[in-house]
Amino acid sequence: MSKFSLAVHGGAGTLVKGMMTPELEVQYRDALKAALDVGVDVLKNGGTAIDAVELAVVSLEDSHLFNAGKGSVFTAEGKHEMDASIMDGSNLEAGAASLLAGIKNPVSLAREIMDNSDHVFLAGDGAIEFAKLRAVEIKDDDYFFDRFRFEQWQEIKDSDTFQLDHSLKKDSKFGTVGAVACDQNGNLAAATSTGGMTNKRFGRIGDSPVIGAGTYANNKTCAVSCTGSGEFFIRGVVAYDVSCLMEYKGFSLQEAAEEVIHQRLKGINGDGGLIACDSFGNIAMPFNTEGMYRASYDNSGKESIAIYS
Ligand code: ASP
């Protein structure tokens, strides 16, 4: 029995089933597996949950398949504005950054903010200035250009619509990324990174960088990373709500995660999902969308990779 566990997600906005080709499915599965392996390696070697989630998310940010880092969606102005956060459940330290342009790995900037500033949350120019101070890698616009995502934005750019990389439309296929982990010492951590929603308004910030909404970790309860329509996740304080149900009502991880996604979030018409783990290494991954790109390595050493329900 291994004493650690890890889960990653690549967003609740999957391709509708009929649109997924076998070739694409292999690509998604490989990318999820690569991120899982990076995180599991850290944990196997006695590394910390916080290092495992950061590196797993970096791996997903570096893939063009997901809506984070390299694959970030276009805003209404045809730019990229990325958000990320990370939280260490062993000491409740957290770092978050939003409205980022040019940052190759937003999750690593969030980690820098957590480790090397007196703050939790930096945004826009201030965050970029801090990134430069800390020598966080910066890339030019070309690095973030993706033809498919550009076309996705072209289709709705003259409308008021902004959209989750989601199953409503045949081509809305990308998703936010995240990871949760429990290390060999029972410490928990969570991280989430996103390009947000296609055609989002300049300055719009979703749930992903908001501690308690898109990301939360506390050794006493759980580590959570969310994906879905961010406005609902902020209003539902979703990640913290899972923790609260465990702490104040004695729910198990699975009960709490399901109650939040299938009852409370649904109750306000929110769509999406989350991944979560507790300090026994249990994992829960509920979603109320057609699919959620996800992979896990559980506390018995069992690995699983899945897209649809
Ligand atoms: N939650 C993200 C946001 O609203 C989007 C996603 O999960 O794909 O920015």
Which helix (H) or strand (E) segment holds residue 194: the answer is strand 188-194
- Residue 25 tokens read as 């499915």
Q: What is the reported pLDDT for 53? A: 98
Quick one: 5-308 is in which CATH superfamily?
(Glycosyl)asparaginase (3.60.20.30)
Q: Minimum mean pLDDT among 18-32, 84-98, 124-138: which range? A: 18-32
How does pLDDT run across 263-308, given as a tens digit for each residue?
999 999 999 999 999 999 999 999 999 899 999 999 999 999 999 9
Across the range 157-165, mean pLDDT stands at 63
Compare 202 and 132 and report the one with higher pLDDT: 132
Residue type, 288: N
Question: Which residue is closest in CA terms to ligand 1's atom 9?
Answer: 196
Distance 3 CA to ligand 1 centre (A): 31
How does pLDDT run across 79-96, given as a tens digit for each residue?
889 999 999 999 999 999
Distance 207 CA to ligand 1 centre (A): 7
Is 207 close to ligand 1, i.e. is its CB under 6 Å away?
A: yes
User: Buried (b) or exposed (e) across 41-52, using 16+ Cβ within 10 A?
Assistant: ebbbeebbbbbb
Using the 8-state DSSP alphabet, how is residue 183 labeled?
Answer: -
Across the range 18-30, mean pLDDT stands at 89
Q: Is the distance from CB of 191 to CB of 215 less than 8 angstroms?
A: yes
Catalytic-role residue among 176, 194, 198, 221: 176
Across the range 247-271, mean pLDDT stands at 97
* CA separation for the pair 277, 223 (Å, rounded): 5
* CA separation for the pair 165, 178 (Å, rounded): 15
Across the range 194-223, mean pLDDT stands at 93
The domain limits of the chain are 5-308
Ramachandran region, residue 250 (left: φ > 0; alpha: ψ -120 to 50; beta: rest) = left
Q: What is the reported pLDDT for 18? A: 73
Nearest to 174 by CA among 207, 206, 196, 204: 196
- Residue 43 tokens read as 């944990």
- The sign of the torsion formed by the CA atoms of 308, 9, 232, 217 equals positive
Catalytic status, residue 21: no
